[in-house]
Amino acid sequence: MASLPTHVRIVEVGPRDGLQNEARVLDVDDRLELLSRLADAGIRDIEAGAFVSPTRVPAMAGSAELMRRLVRRTDVRYACLVPNETGLDRALEAGCREIAIFTAVSETFSRRNTACSIGESLQRLAAVSRRADAEGLRVRGYLSCVIGCPYEGPVAGRAVADMTEQLIGMGCYEVSLGDTTGIGTPADIERLIEIVTTRVPVDRLAGHFHDTWGMGVANVWAALQCGVTVFDASVGGLGGCPFAPGASGNVATEDLVYMLNGAGIDTGIDIARLIDTARWVCGRLDRPAASKVTLAWRACARA
């Protein structure tokens, strides 16, 4: 076995990436309770909301109120997704200290998702991150479709490496590589990280994998072998795939923690409390948990 890290940092994206792809919209009270339960379970990085159009993304309406009412724990970092300078203004007004910016490797995906070309998107993000930096905010980058695009098919690893380097150059402390359609297999992930790390140090990368094809946890394991130690995950496996109705969403945080616990890798997360939270939020959303670990969990289970 390749040498494994002793600690992995998990970025919980359920309150944003998860909720925005669910059929039911949670109110701000429920979203605040979710944030508090996640922090109590030991999660230290949480993507809490998004300053996007409430018409396009109804689940993220009220993010300003959420961030104003949030009782911030000093040991937890809360981030919000920001698409443009208007979003940045709103994030600053609401007291955000960290933002996430996003773009895609595929031209068609970029045009459909953000209504602009990749080049225009990078210009827009450069302006956002310049201002964010001047305001002392931390900026995290997301790159979508790093393995495949629902419109264009397979994506070239060199294009991913090039865009990752540009996002780091803009001032992102970390770039999260998103397999948005969940189509990648562990071999794809290894090949991709090999290419990207010819341009960007591995400690600036995070893995953002989806379970659409059941590969989420296996892909995390592959990335771990390549030296990646930061992973995005969503409690309960919240968030379907917008291109595959009814499909699983982000890799479930509890599935990831269970796997890492099995390898003796510390995450600082209490899996029993996390599973309670997964059950609670799935109840609020009136849907079953997508996580196998949550479905299998019993008091006597290995933790």
Contact by Cβ (8 Å): 187, 223: no
Residue at shortest CB range from Mg ion = 17
DSSP 8-state symbol, 22: S
Q: How far apart are CA 277 and CA 197, in angstroms?
A: 35
Q: Nearest distance from residue 17's CB to Mg ion, in Å?
A: 4
Q: Nearest distance from residue 277's CB to Mg ion, in Å?
A: 18
Q: Nearest distance from residue 250's CB to Mg ion, in Å?
A: 4
Q: Please say which residue, 62 or 249, places its beta carbon nearer to Mg ion.
A: 249
Q: Please say which residue, 113 or 250, places its beta carbon nearer to Mg ion.
A: 250
The residue behind tokens 């450069």 is 126
241 is catalytic: yes
Q: Residue 98 interacts with Mg ion (CB under 5 A)?
A: no
Span near Mg ion by CB under 5 A; candidates 22-30, 49-57, 119-127, 244-252: 244-252
Q: CA distances (Å), 205 to each of 64, 182, 248, 272, 282, in order?
A: 28, 18, 24, 28, 30
CA 224 to chain CA mean position, Å: 17
Please choose, from the candidates 206, 208, 162, the residue with its C-alpha nearest in 3D space to the C-alpha of residue 181: 208
Q: Please say which residue, 231 or 297, places its beta carbon nearer to Mg ion.
A: 231
DSSP 8-state symbol, 250: B
Q: Residue 17 interacts with Mg ion (CB under 5 A)?
A: yes
Please choose, from the candidates 163, 167, 165, 227, the residue with its C-alpha nearest in 3D space to the C-alpha of residue 193: 227
Q: Nearest distance from residue 22's CB to Mg ion, in Å?
A: 12
Which residue from 176, 219, 250, 277 is in contact with Mg ion, where contact means CB under 5 A?
Answer: 250
Q: Nearest distance from residue 133's CB to Mg ion, in Å?
A: 25
Q: Please say which residue, 241 or 297, places its beta carbon nearer to Mg ion.
A: 241
Q: Exactly one of 80, 96, 241, 282 is catalytic; which is it?
A: 241
Q: How far apart are CA 95 and CA 172, in angstroms?
A: 19
Interface with Mg ion (CB under 5 A), residue total 2
The one-letter code for the residue type at 241 is C
Q: Residue 12 interacts with Mg ion (CB under 5 A)?
A: no
Q: Please say which residue, 96 or 233, places its beta carbon nearer to Mg ion.
A: 233
Contact by Cβ (8 Å): 157, 193: no
Span near Mg ion by CB under 5 A; candidates 109-117, 218-226, 242-250, 263-271: 242-250
Tokens for 224, please give them.
Answer: 């771990």
Span near Mg ion by CB under 5 A; candidates 12-20, 95-103, 260-268, 276-284: 12-20
Tokens for 161, please give them.
Answer: 């490496």
The one-letter code for the residue type at 36 is S
Instruction: List residues with catalytic annotation.
Output: 241
Using CB under 5 A, list all residues that contact Mg ion: 17, 250
